[in-house]
Chains A and B, each alone.
Chain A
Amino acid sequence: KAGVTQTPRYLIKTRGQQVTLSCSPISGHRSVSWYQQTPGQGLQFLFEYFSETQRNKGNFPGRFSGRQFSNSRSEMNVSTLELGDSALYLCASSLAAGFYEQYFGPGTRLTVT
């Protein structure tokens, strides 16, 4: 069974631009969560989607948004990019919401210049 896939793997953007990252969960998984990883702040929860609905949201500004499609694929969008948004963005999928194991993708490395 294929794992979680994330595209693109690497991205370079300029301050003020916006970016969209994509995540395809493991087949049959209906919950997708997003995390940001930086050297300074570590791993931080962004949001979780289940059945196209946002269930949880972390403490990030409104510039960070996401959505989930009917096939469980998810996208996250960051508008008006700032230098501090440079990070590894990780997507994780699980069978359903709640106490299920989360399986992580390889991440998208975003660099903002």
Chain B
Amino acid sequence: AQSVTQLGSHVSVSEGALVLLRCNYSSSVPPYLFWYVQYPNQGLQLLLKYTSAATLVKGINGFEAEFKKSETSFHLTKPSAHMSDAAEYFCAVSLGTASKLTFGTGTRLQVTL
């Protein structure tokens, strides 16, 4: 069975500061990993995905994530936070030939002036 752990349910950064959202996964087989963002009263938007190609994955809105097998991690980063980045972020994993996504509990990002 696969699982995802997101460390920190709330993260607050200043505008212009580095954003780092942590995600660790547990999987018995090579996983596919995803980061999604959810704005209030909206669905989920795909930020980026890791599918066993490059370990450093670039996504939309300046976000990127690095797959580290030795650390079983897939942390999300952005060099400079913007007010519009305030939202909830979810890390997710899928395995095998199943489309089923298993989500972490989410991290709410607050961006302050």
Contacts and interface: CB of A to CB of B under 8 A. Distances in A.
Interface string B101-112: 111111000000
Contacts of B101: 33, 35, 43, 45, 92, 102
A104 B45 contact: yes
Interface stretch (B13-21, B77-85, B92-100): B92-100
A41 to B, nearest CB: 10
A4 B51 CA distance: 23
Contact of A99 (B42, B43, B51, B92): B51
Contact of B99 (A4, A100, A107): A100
A50 B86 CA distance: 34
B56 interface: no
Given A42-B106, A55-B98, A101 B44 contact: no
B9 to A, nearest CB: 11
A24 B22 CA distance: 33
B42 A103 contact: no
Contacts of B90: 43
Interface in A88-113: 90, 92, 94, 97-107
